[in-house]
Structure 1
Amino acid sequence: MPNTVIEHVQKISDADAARAGSIIAGIISTYSERVVGQERLRENLMIALLTSGHILLESAPGLAKTTAAQTLAESVGGVFKRIQCTPDLLPSDITGTRIFDARTGAFEIELGPVHANFVLLDEINRSSAKTQSAMLEAMQERQTTIGGRVFPLPQPFVVMATQNPIEQEGTYQLPEAQLDRFLLKDVVDYPTPAEEYEILARLDRGLLDTSRHTLPVASIDDVLFLQNVTRQVYLDDSIRRYIVTISHVTRKPNEYIGAELGRYIEYGASPRASIAFVQAARALALLSGRRHVIPEDVKHLRHAILRHRVLLGYEADADAISPEMIIDSVFDSVKTP
C-alpha cells in the first residue's frame, strides 16, 4: 500500500477507532436483546445512523420494523416518533402548524412529530402526494417551514419509512424524486424457524414486553462522534472511480450488459447513488472494524442502494425480471479494482 494511503487510513486515531468500536458494539448488543435475527436490517439501520441517512423498509406486517427502529433510537437516547400514514394525513400533521392562543391573542407554533431524531413513517405509500412533498423538504433540507418561518430539524435526523408490498389498495406510489432521497432500501424477510422459536421464548420470558423500554448505552453526542469518524474513513480513488463507473453503466446499459437485459431499464441511477455508495461504504467499513473502504463493501451494498434507483419498465414485471438481477448484471460488467 502506498505511503499516502497509509497516512489517509491512519487519519482516524487509534483512540477514536477504539471509542467508535466500543460505541458500535454497545448499540448492536442492545439492539440484539430486543430484536431476534434481522441482521441485515440491523446493519442497514446502523449505516443510516452513522451517515444520518434515510432508509426505506419494505416487508409484510409483523416483522419487527417498528421495534427495531424504536430500539435503535432508545439505545442512543434519541427522541423517537412514529407517524401512521393514512390518505387523510395532512402536511401540518407531520411538520406542525400555527395555533391561535386565545389567552395571548397571538398564534403559537406547535411543532409536529417530524421534529425528532428518529422518525418512523409507517406505510408511507398511504399518504397523499401533498403530504409526501412535505416530508421531502424535511428529508432533503432537514428543516420545515411553518407560517413562513424555518425550523431546523434536530441532529441526528433519520427517517425510517415502511411500505407494505402486499396490500396496494388505497396507496400512492412514491415519486422517483422522493425514492432517491432514501440512502438505502431494505426488503425485510421472514425470520427462520429457529429465530421465530426464539421470539416465542423471549416473549414467554417477558423480554419483548411492549411496556419495556431500552436503556440508552450511548448518547446523541456519541452518534455525532460516530458520524464524524465515518466521514474520515479512507476511500481510495480507484474505488471512487469504480462507483462512478457502476452508476454510469446503469444509464448506458445496452453498451455494457447487452440490449437483452438493458432494455428493461427505463431510468438509471442518479449521482445520488454514487454519493450513497461513498457514504454507506464508509459506514460499513467502520462497522466492520476497518478505517478504509474495500471493493467488497461496495458490492455488499449494491442491492440496498440501487434497487430503488434503477427503475425498470413494465416488461420487467411481465418477464419476472427483478431489480436485483439487473443490478448483479451491472456489477458483473464492471471490473473490480
Structure 2
Amino acid sequence: MTTKIDITLSETKKEKPESGQLEFGRVFTDHMFVMDYSPTKGWHDARITPYEPISLNPSSMVFHYGQTVFEGLKAYRTEDDKVLLFRPEKNMQRLNLSNERLCIPQIDGDFVIEALKQLVAIDKDWIPTAEGTSLYIRPFIIPTEYYLGVAPSKFYRFMIILSPVGSYYKEGIHPVKIFVENQYVRAVAGGTGKAKTGGNYASSLKAQEEASKKGYSQVLWLDGVEKKYIEEVGSMNIFFKINGEVVTPELNGSILEGVTRNSILKMLSHWGMVVSERKLSMEEVYQAYKQGLLEEAFGTGTAAVISPIGEFYYNDEKITINDGETGEISKKLYDTLTGIQKGTHEDIFNWVTEVK
C-alpha cells in the first residue's frame, strides 16, 4: 500500500464561477487525486495532478460490466475561514462495503482521507461561501483491465474530483413533489442496493424521466418484491413523522445506509424524539394521511442534506403534507445539521474534521 502522495500543481487555473449561480455537479476544480491498483503492487502511485481527461483502452472493463463504486461528501468553509469535512470516515467505511460487494480491493480509509484533505487544501479557494453552497467531493473506483469477460477486474483506478455546488434541487429547502413508483424498482435484497454503485442509479433513470414529465421532482421507490414497502426517495433515504413518531425504513439489504440518515437518527434520539427503523408500507402512510396523522416527510442525503416533501402522487391521488410547507422537524434538522457542517452550531457529536 502506497503511503506517499506525489503532487503536480496546475500551471493554468480555471475561472471560478459566482457562488450564487452554481448548479450541482457542472463545474470542477483545478486538481484531482489518482491512484492505481495491480495484483503485484496493491494500491500504488498516489498522486494529485491537474484535473484533466483520462485515457483508457476501449476494452477496459469499466465500459462493459458496471463494476464501479463511488462516494459523495462535502467540504464547507466556516465564517472564520476554516475548512470542515463532515464524517469522512463513514464514507470510507461505506466505500469499502461497496468494494466488498463489487469484488474491488479494499482501500485504506485513513490514507484516502489524508489524500482528500491535501486535495481540498490545494483547491481551497474553490469552496463557495454563499448560503446553501459547498464543495462536493466525489471519490470513485473503476476497473481498468483490458478484458471482455465477466469476472472481477485485476486492475483498478481510484480517483477523487471536486465540484463547487449549489442546491441539489432547485427548490432548495422548500418542499418537493414526489411520484410513488409502482412499475419500476430500484433494487432488491441480495442485489446491489446497499452498495453505492452506478448500476443502481442507471436503473432509476426511466422512472425518474417519466416522473419529471408529470411534474414531479423524484420518485418514491417501493420494494422490488411486493411493491408495497417504502425504500428510498430518488437517491435519498426517507423519513416520515406520523402522529409524533419519526419513522424511516429499516435497512434490509436493498437500501443504502446513508451517512446523513445515520446522523439524523442520532440527532433525533438526542432530542428525545420517538424514532423507529422498521418496515413501512405506502398504505400505512396513506391511512395516516386520511386520519390526519401524517405530519411530515423528508428525504436525506449528502447532496440535498434535507429535502422536505410537500406532496406524494399515489394511486391517482395527491397526498398533501403539512399544507405543502416545510415542517418544523425538517427545518430544525436542516438548520442544525448544516450549522454543524458550517461550524455555526456546536459539534456535540464530534462529526467534523478540519482541513489544515
TM-score, scaled relative to structure 1: 0.25
| Larger RCO, structure (CA 8 Å, separation 6 or more) | 1
Q: Which has the larger share of strand?
A: 2
Q: Point out the structure with the larger helix share.
A: 1
